[in-house]
Structures are given as structure tokens and as C-alpha cells.
Structure 1
Amino acid sequence: MKLLFLRTDFVGAQRVGGSFSHVKGFLHGMRELGVEVITAAAAPVADEGYKFYPIEYNPFYSNLPEVASIAHNQTLRRKLPKILEREKPDAIYQRHSEFVYVPSQIAAAYGIPLLLEVNGIETWVKKNWGLLIFRGLLAQSEQVQFQAATAMFVVSNVLKQELLRQFDLPPEKIHVNPNGVDVEEFSDTIDANAFFQTLPKELQERWRGKFLCGFVGTFGEWHGVEVLAKAVKPTVERNSRVHFLLIGDGKLRSSVEEILKADGVQEHVTMLGLVPHSLVPKYLSLCEVLLSPHTHNPDGTVFFGSPTKLFEYMGMGKAIIAAGVGQIGEVIHHECNGLLMRERDHIDLAEKIVYLAERPDLRERLGQAARRDAVEKFAWKENARRVLEVCQKLLKKPKSE
């Protein structure tokens, strides 16, 4: 089977973050399952030697992103048919992006199934997390794309229910497919001591003998980083050995720094900023507990995401403390493969950190269970397998159905 992986959003120079982990893992999973994958995007989406076709964005994207995204439909009209005629894929798998609706029309014209991965409703995302000018046009483009897609894959049941409510889609068209993890890269077999010896002396001195609690994220509103920052003071007041290791950067970093300064606890936190993705599992291997204090959305709606970092935590075989919002509460089972904290409750988070710091046997049991679930349920190969199974069923259907 041959699959065209189509990424239609603007891809800049940066190659870190959840979307790139997702793409890399999904493509690798498909390759493991024997699928021939070719890729098309504004820039290469993976470094593993997949055949790549460039479909460039307008160079003025940074100045007029919405206009450039709308215009990208015309670029796709010119270039996508040529790729289909040359490669003759059995199906197209596209990551849904703002204002782009042409791929579903082209796929229909060529009689090829379009499998649409939807990580969020862009009308909501742009309204709440970005700048939205052409709201009506964006809503219309999503309506067209969703209705015309052969099948849709969403990261959570929360998102599926919202799509059903807003777009009047048949339930059987939408398949829930949680994000995943590379269980070989994020593993419990990493030699933490060897990595520790490679660190700068300053970090070695700061972390030696400490009980490290790790966090990875883009410091967005939904990551709960302000909750984490507020938890530092009550944690270290009860256990001064605890030290927090924060990886990532983003909108709320300055707010986190202000909270830590006001509480006088900066010395108990190391903020590494952005680090190469290959180093993230090595830093996490140094930690005893990993934190996921996610929150529901600022507008009061339910958290609809499927945090890649949560599954990467699970792959590490570490004890996890997470807020059970949205899908997280379906993945982490309290005292089975992690501990659940109350949403936005920094005191509860602090108490659970101290609780785990005093119970090494419990940390080991929770970590082993999380690792087992990651391998059996949330490896990227399993994510790709769920897509492949749906695709194979669609290809067996008569064209008239």
C-alpha cells in the first residue's frame, strides 16, 4: 500500500514540538507496518529519507498568515494533482490546517480516500489562541473539508463530540486515535548516570543529591505551568531536596518566572528552555517524577487535546502526576499508572510530589505500569495501525458506497 502524507500548514525552520514528534512517530509507525509513505509539505516533515514533494507557502506568510493560508489552496490545486498522477497513492492522509479545503475536492476527483487528521477545530483555536480576521471564511472552509473527507481521525473523544455537535457529521466517520510515543526513544533503559556525567559542572552541582521533578511543554495556557510554579514553594517547604526541571518555552514563561521570584524559590527550579528533542528523554531520565498539571481551556470548555508529552512520560517508566482533564483522565488511572491531581490546585500537586518523594516502591510500581501501557497501547505503531485498519476497510468498499 502507498500512502501520501500531506501537511498543509506553514512549516518554518523550527523542528521541535508536539506536531513534529507526532509526524515523525506516525510515519515511522506506518513504515514499520510495511506501508510505502511519500510526503508533501511546505518543507521536509521528517529526516528519515521519505520521498518528499515541496508545496511551498507564499514567502510573505509572516506578514499576512491568513491570506497566505487561503492562497495556499491555489498552490495545492496546481501541485497536488501532479503528485497524485506521478505517485498514484492508494490514499491521502492530511493534517487538517486553517483555511485549507482543496485536498478533499482533489481526492474526490481522483477517486482516492482522504483521511483527515484533526487535532482541533481551527475556528476555535484561532479565536482563543491566535488572531482571527476571516472567521466566516475559516468556518466555511472547515465545513467543506470535514463534509468531504472520507474519514476523520481525532485525538480525543471530547473533540469528536464537539465535531458532531458543530458540523452534523455521521459518528461512524470520526475515529478517535490518541497521540503516541516512540517507546524506543522514550525508554526506561536510558543510562541516566552516564548522561549526568556529560552535563556542565554547574548543573551537576545543582542537581546532585536532589529529587528531580520534570516538566516538558510549550508553556501554553493549557499546560498548567502557572499551577506548577505556585506548587514549588509549598513543596520545598516540606521537602527541600525537591528540585524542578522545566523544559520548554512559550507565552507564559515570564509569568512563571514572576511567580517563582515573588515566592523566593528560583534556586529550586532550573528552566532549561528549548532543548533538542533527542536530549529530552535523557533529561527526563534524571527525574523521579514527571508532571502534567494540564487545565481545561480558558474559556471554560473541556480540554480536548491528547498531550504527546504525557505518553512520552509514560514511555520513560517514571511516576507521573497529572490533572485528569479530558483524555488525560482516561489514560492515567489513579494509583495504577500514575496519580491524578485536582485541576488548578497547586497545593494538591505539592502534596502529591512530597507523597511520592517518600515512597520509592510506589514510584517504581506506577512507572512500570505506565511504561507497560505506553508500549501496549500508545506506541506510534499502534496509532498508525488504527489508521491503516480504517484505510484498508475503505479501500475494500465498492466505489458506490
Structure 2
Amino acid sequence: MRALYIISNPFYYTNNPVGGSISSGTGVINGLSELGYLVDIISDDKLPTIKGNQRIKYLYFRKLLIREVIQNFRRIFPNRLINLLESIFFRFVIKIDIKRILSEQNYDLVYIRASHFAGDALEVVKTFGTPSILEVNKPLSMQNYNKPQGFEGLNENERKIKKIANEIKQYENTIMISTDSNLRGRWITKYVDPKYRRKILINHNGVNEKLFKPTSKVDISSNGIIGMASSFRWYNDIDELMRIIKKVRDSKQDVEFRLFIGDKSKHDEIESKINENGLNDSINTFYSIPLDQMPEKLGECDLLISHFNFHGVWPHNCSIKHLEYMAMGKAVIATNVGEVNFAIKHNISGLLVDESDEDKFANEILRLLQDTTLARNLGNQARNQIVSSHTWKQHVERSLNFLKHQT
């Protein structure tokens, strides 16, 4: 069996060297390989976590000289102009190269992550009759609403939501749509077109349980080390997080929080918040840690937290980070909102706290620092739950089973 994995954004990993897309891309590709597929990856560049081997091989979109020149001008000209020029040539390249590859090699499956260019690739794939899976992390038409108060009034203003031709083109030309939360699936059926419901599988994210696994560190440190890894978007509510950390610090002066921040552009904002709250001695920050180094960093922590506050906006995310925490066998304190931290079973494989309940969140951290037996039991149950239900191999199996019924 052979699968083609298409990365349908130009120079994607050069421009995005860290982030959840690397976790999910790596997970799906390795999951396909574990299930017996030979996987060809067509891309402009390499996934930082996949080097290639006998079962996984890289192919590349043709590097037209003009495309290289455009990339070199990215630091000089506005991003909007560069992206426009890049899109013109990439759209041309993706159609030609996908057609060439499918003509030269028979594939049992094409897997592609949604983008403004995925529809062009899938249009070609459809002409070859190859079964396809479109992974929709965030619907294109949702992106402009992914901000505080962004979803307010949608029920009253549905007609104002702009239909995006590139999004519709993807859905029309794929066999199935895999999305990681019910709210994202509902967006597609409510605000794009209800006819796509039959194509949609709600398939929560998985985790690489071989990379993220328990370490030799078992006992909780005397001071207590609490970690959180995130891109720290608006829905992580940095101000509220700082208040929670202050509450913990006020009860335990020597506590240490380690923030692993994926988005370098957040540096000035986060460091400023730490200074404003007088937490310099309590918080250590680490920026843009590569995925393969994250297990070591998380393993040094005693507890891990997954904090969110959507302030009434649709909690459409499905966190991969809380799965990585659980796979490490660590006790996790997480916000109970939507399907964001979906895998945690309260008081069994972690602790859930309602949005905005700062006192409760802080107190649960302090409780687990004191009750090491409970922390250890929660961590063990979390690891067991991940291995039994939430690996990337299991994620891919669910997609393939759904695909069988679509073809």
C-alpha cells in the first residue's frame, strides 16, 4: 500500500518551524507507516521531525527560480505582496507536479491538510480516482472570526459570512473531511454548506506516545515545577494565567513555572506581563523549542497545565498539548471548555477547572504539589488512557475506516 501526503502550503516548514501542524503532520505520516503504508511526502521543504527512510520518502515541488527569488524578498517587501506573488506560482506548480506524480505512481490514498491551495491539488487527485482525506484544522472561512468576540452574533448574521471559493473547492473534490472537533465540523455544515455533513468525520487529535513517554523523574521537586507549552494565543488569556501564577506563588514562594512558548513573536508581550506582575523570580520562559526536544523539557516538570479562556467565543480548538502531557505520565490541570482538553477525565486522568475560576485553578495546582500520591495516580491513568485510545496510529485507523465507507 502506498500513500501520498501533500503539504499544500509553499515553504511551509521554513516559515513555520514549530507548532501543532508539525505534531499532527508527523503523527499522521508515522501512523500511516505503522499501518503498512509506504508514504511519499510532496512538499517544498522537510518536516523538522521526519528525516525520511525506506518507508517514508520525500518528493519536492519544482523550485522555479522565480519562487526562490520571491522568498528572498520576504524580508524586504510586505508579506501581503509576497504571499500574493507566491500563491500565483505555487498554484501553477502544485497542479503540474501532482499530476506528474500521480501519472508516474499509483497511490491507494492521498492525504492533505486544508489550505488555500488544497482544492487545486484535490481537483487533480479526483481526476485520477484516488481516494482522498482532507484534514481541516480550521475552516478557511472561520479564520477571520478566530479572535475575541469574533463569533458573537453569528446566528443573526449568517448571511454576512463570506463564502471562500478555495474552501468550497477543497470540500467538493475530496472524498472525506477529517476535523478535530465537533464545533469545527459544525462550522462547515452551518456556515459553508450542510451537504458536506456526509463527508465529515470528527476525529480528535492523537499523540506520539513513543516520543512523549514517562521519564525517570517520579518524585515532585521540593519547590514544585509547573510547565505549560503553548503558542499563547488570545484564548490562553495571558493576563488570567499571570493572576493564577501569582496566587500559587503567594502560597508557595519558591514555586517555579516554566512557559514553553512556540510563537517567538509573543516574546515582548509575555516578558512585559511577567515584569508587570512581579513574577520574574517565579517564571522561566523558553521560546520555539523543537518538537523532538519537548519531551525532555516537559519531563523536568512536576505538573503540567493547559489553560484557556475563550470568554464566550466558540471553544473550537482541540489541544494536542494536553495529550502530550498525558502521554508523559504527568498530572495535568486543565480548563474544562468545549473539546479543547477532551481526553481528560476529571479526577481520573487529570483535573478539570471551569473557565475563569482562577482560585480553583491555583488551588488545584497547590493540591497536587501537596498530594503526590494523587498526582502520581492521575499521571499513570493519563498515560494508560493515551496508549489505549489516543495514539496517532489509532487516529489514522479511524480515518481509514471512515474512508472505506465513503468509497
**TM-score normalised per structure 2:** 0.85
Deviation at 1:160, TM superposition (A): 0.7
Partner of residue 319, structure 2: 307
Deviation at 1:138, TM superposition (A): 7.6
Cα distance change on mapping 1:295 and 1:56 into 2, 3 Å: farther
- Residues 242 and 277, structure 2, Cα contact 8 Å, conserved in 1: no
- Residues 8 and 115, structure 2, Cα contact 8 Å, conserved in 1: yes
Deviation at 1:67, TM superposition (A): 4.2
1:162-181 deviations in Å (ceiling 9; x for gaps): 11101223423100111111
Code of the aligned partner of 1:235: V
* Aligned-partner Cα distance in 2 for 1:56–1:307: 34
Q: Which moved more, 1:15-24 or 1:218-227?
A: 218-227
Matched, 1:142 2:167: yes
Residue aligned with 1:73, SS: helix
Matched, 1:90 2:116: no
Of 45, 55, 61 in structure 1, the residue corresponding to residue 61 of structure 2 is: 55
Partner of residue 184, structure 2: 159
Deviation at 1:373, TM superposition (A): 1.3
Matched, 1:338 2:335: no
Code of the aligned partner of 1:185: L
Matched, 1:266 2:268: no
Deviation at 1:126, TM superposition (A): 4.9
Code of the aligned partner of 1:269: I
* Aligned-partner Cα distance in 2 for 1:208–1:334: 24
Q: Percent identity among equivalent residues?
A: 24
Q: Which moved more, 1:84-93 or 1:384-393?
A: 384-393
Of 362, 371, 375 in structure 1, the residue corresponding to residue 383 of structure 2 is: 371
- Residues 181 and 378, structure 1, Cα contact 8 Å, conserved in 2: yes
* Aligned-partner Cα distance in 1 for 2:62–2:204: 29
Deviation at 1:249, TM superposition (A): 4.1
Of 186, 192, 195 in structure 1, the residue corresponding to residue 212 of structure 2 is: 186
Partner of residue 21, structure 1: 23
Structure 2 unmatched runs, 5+: 148-159
Of 12, 34, 37 in structure 2, the residue corresponding to residue 35 of structure 1 is: 37
1:120-163 deviations in Å (ceiling 9; x for gaps): 0123225647xxxxx99981110121122110100111111111
Cα distance change on mapping 1:56 and 1:218 into 2, 3 Å: farther
Deviation at 1:109, TM superposition (A): 1.1
Mapping 1:250-399, distance limit 5 Å: 250=263, 251-296=265-310, 300-328=312-340, 330-394=342-406, 397=407
* Aligned-partner Cα distance in 1 for 2:170–2:231: 28
* Aligned-partner Cα distance in 2 for 1:98–1:111: 22
Deviation at 1:214, TM superposition (A): 0.5
- Residues 141 and 162, structure 2, Cα contact 8 Å, conserved in 1: no
Residue aligned with 2:342, SS: helix
* Aligned-partner Cα distance in 2 for 1:256–1:304: 24
Q: Which moved more, 1:96-105 or 1:368-377?
A: 96-105
Deviation at 1:303, TM superposition (A): 1.9
1:234-257 deviations in Å (ceiling 9; x for gaps): 111112232101112434443332
- Residues 8 and 117, structure 2, Cα contact 8 Å, conserved in 1: no
Cα distance change on mapping 1:162 and 1:104 into 2, 3 Å: same
* Aligned-partner Cα distance in 2 for 1:12–1:162: 27
Deviation at 1:7, TM superposition (A): 0.9
1:72-115 deviations in Å (ceiling 9; x for gaps): 22211211110001111122111111254212211221111221
- Residues 3 and 38, structure 1, Cα contact 8 Å, conserved in 2: yes
Matched, 1:228 2:254: no
Q: Which moved more, 1:57-66 or 1:300-309?
A: 57-66
- Residues 309 and 356, structure 2, Cα contact 8 Å, conserved in 1: yes
Code of the aligned partner of 2:174: A
* Aligned-partner Cα distance in 2 for 1:71–1:100: 14
Aligned residues: 375
- Residues 225 and 252, structure 1, Cα contact 8 Å, conserved in 2: no
- Residues 243 and 268, structure 1, Cα contact 8 Å, conserved in 2: yes
Cα distance change on mapping 1:345 and 1:256 into 2, 3 Å: farther
Mapping 1:187-202, distance limit 5 Å: 187-188=213-214, 190-192=215-217
- Residues 322 and 341, structure 2, Cα contact 8 Å, conserved in 1: no
Matched, 1:240 2:253: yes
Matched, 1:4 2:4: yes
Residue aligned with 1:331, SS: coil
Code of the aligned partner of 1:145: Q
- Residues 337 and 354, structure 2, Cα contact 8 Å, conserved in 1: no
* Aligned-partner Cα distance in 2 for 1:137–1:75: 27
- Residues 212 and 245, structure 1, Cα contact 8 Å, conserved in 2: yes
Code of the aligned partner of 2:293: L
* Aligned-partner Cα distance in 2 for 1:8–1:187: 31
Residue aligned with 1:303, SS: coil
Code of the aligned partner of 2:328: M
- Residues 224 and 344, structure 1, Cα contact 8 Å, conserved in 2: no
RMSD: 2.5
Structure 1 unmatched runs, 5+: 130-134, 194-206
Mapping 1:164-179, distance limit 5 Å: 164-168=189-193, 169-179=195-205
Residue aligned with 1:271, SS: strand
* Aligned-partner Cα distance in 2 for 1:114–1:249: 31
Code of the aligned partner of 2:337: V
* Aligned-partner Cα distance in 2 for 1:307–1:94: 20
Code of the aligned partner of 1:81: K
Residue aligned with 1:101, SS: helix
